[in-house]
Amino acid sequence: MKAPVLVVGPGAVGLTVARGLRLAGLDAAILGRSAAAESELRRLGFTAVLADGSAQRVDGLLAARALKTPAWAAFFCVKSADAARAAAAARPRLAANAPIVALQNGIGHEAVYRRAFGPRRVVVGVCYFAADRAAPRELRLNGGDDILLARSPGNDDALAAAAGILTTAGFRVRIKDSEADMLWMKAAFNAAVNPLAAACAVESGRLAEDPALRALALRALEEAAAAARAAGRIFDAQDLAEKLLAGARNAPRQRNSMLQDLAAGRRTERQAILGPLLAAAKRGRVPAPTLDLLSRVIARLERRNSP
C-alpha cells in the first residue's frame, strides 16, 4: 500500500480535506476519536452536497488505527483545545519527517504542534471556506476553497509539501509571511461571525440580510480589530468587513462551526477565538463590550449543554 495522508478529525474541515484528497486520487486515512468512528467512515464513506445541490459520494477512506504504512503528511482539523490529544494520537501513525499542517481556528494551538513535532515540520494554516457536517455521513459544502498557509523559520520544505498536497486536492492556497497576523485576522473574522450567529441560532446569510445583526457583526469586528492593534497586529478592517459580508451572502445557508457545536451539544472554540482578543483588549485598555457580551452568552449556552 502506498503511504496515505492522515486527516486528524473527521469534522466539517477534516471531511472537506479528505474529499479533496480522494477526488485527487490520494489515499486519505481518518483519525477520529474512536476506532468505531473510523471504521464506519471506511465502510460507508460519506456524501458531499455541493452548493448547487448536487451530491458526490466519497469512498475509499482508510481507518488510521488500522494503518500498516505510516502516513507521509498530516492535516490536523480538530478543535484548538484538542490539539495536544490529537498530536499524541497521531504521532505513532506518522513517518519521521511527515509535515504537520494545523488547520484550526483560534490562537495558541500552533505552539502545541511545535512542541510535539518540532518547528521545521509544522505549517499553520487557516481555512476560508464554508462547510457543515450536517449529519454523521453528510458534508455540506456551501462555498469557498481558500486555505492560507504561513511561512515560519525553517519550515520551507514542510510548507512546500503542504501547499502541493492542498493544491492537488483542489484548494486555492496562498502563502502568508506572518503567521501571527494571519491567525489574528482570522480570529477577528470568526469573532464577528461565529458567536453572534451561534447565539441567535441563525445561518450566516442572516448576518448580511438583517440590519440589526449586520450592525452587531460589524461592531464586533471593529472591536476585534482594535484588540488586534493593541496586540501589535494590524490588518485592513474595512477590507475584512467587506469579505465578511460577501462571505455571508455567498454562503447564506452556512451554519458556522460554533453553531454546529452548540447544536450537537459540544463545547465551542469560544476561548480559543475570543479569549486572546479579550485579553489583548484588556491589556491595551481597549473597550470590547460586544465581544465580552457574546463570549458570556456563548459560555452560558455551553453550560446549558453540559450534562
pLDDT at 2 over 80: no
pLDDT (mean) for 106-129: 97
pLDDT in tens, 20-31: 999 999 999 999
Calculate the alpha carbon distances from 301 to 79, 181, 247 in Å.
18, 30, 25
CB atoms within 10 A of CB 154: 13
pTM of the full predicted structure?
A: 0.95
Domains of the chain by start residue, with CATH: 5-177 (3.40.50.720), 181-305 (1.10.1040.10)
Task: Compute the distance between CA of residue 127 and CA of residue 129 in angstroms, rounded to an integer.
Answer: 6
CA angle 110, 102, 300 (to 5 degrees): 75
Residue type, 280: A
pLDDT (mean) for 130-144: 92
Query: What's residue 307's pLDDT?
Result: 62
Strands 122-135 and 100-103: parallel
pLDDT in tens, 183-211: 999 999 999 999 999 999 999 999 999 99
Query: What's residue 269's pLDDT?
Result: 94
Residues 6+ apart with CB under 8 A from 178: 150
Task: Compute the distance between CA of residue 95 and CA of residue 42 in angstroms, rounded to an integer.
Answer: 22
pLDDT at 1 over 90: no
pLDDT (mean) for 239-246: 94
3-class SS at 75?
strand
Query: What's residue 305's pLDDT?
Result: 81
pLDDT in tens, 55-81: 999 999 999 999 999 999 999 999 999
Calculate the alpha carbon distances from 139 to 57, 134, 200, 266 in Å.
10, 6, 23, 18
259: left (phi over 0), alpha (psi -120 to 50) or beta: alpha
3-class SS at 152?
coil
pLDDT at 306 over 90: no
pLDDT at 125 over 80: yes
Task: Compute the distance between CA of residue 234 and CA of residue 228 in angstroms, rounded to an integer.
Answer: 7
pLDDT at 156 over 60: yes
pLDDT at 176 over 60: yes
Confidence of residue 234 (pLDDT cuts 50, 70, 90): confident
